[in-house]
Amino acid sequence: MKGFVIAGAATICLLAAIPVGAQTSVTTTTTETTGSITIAPEKRTIIRQQLSSSKPVTVKERVTVGATVPDTVELQSVPETIVSDIPSVKGYRYFVYNDDVVLVDPQTRKVVTIVE
């Protein structure tokens, strides 16, 4: 019995000596705006109803959230009537692509969300 206790204590000591580094996690923080903004479904409906009638734009590249919009695409200002109802879209520009409203950060020209 005494042998089992000694063997158990030795095992615990060996396990305690294993470096914790094997369980290391890395957190990266970035200030680049490549993510999307959150807009409630009922607000997305308002955006789609009011902006989807704009002239659609043809883009050769695939339009996805985080993608950079070519300089050849003319970005429109979001009307103040929408900004007053949905403040989170303030400062963004938009264009219509394949019947979807695409919101873009005008400084980086990156797509922040697509209202389908």
Which domains does the chain show, CATH number per domain? 41-115 (3.10.450.160)
pTM beyond 0.85, yes or no: no
**pLDDT, tens digit (0-9, with 9 covering 90-100), for 2-61:** 554 455 555 554 445 544 444 433 333 222 333 568 899 999 999 999 998 899 999 888
pLDDT value, residue 29: 29
pLDDT value, residue 2: 52
pLDDT value, residue 31: 29
pLDDT value, residue 6: 53
* Residues shown for the chain: 116
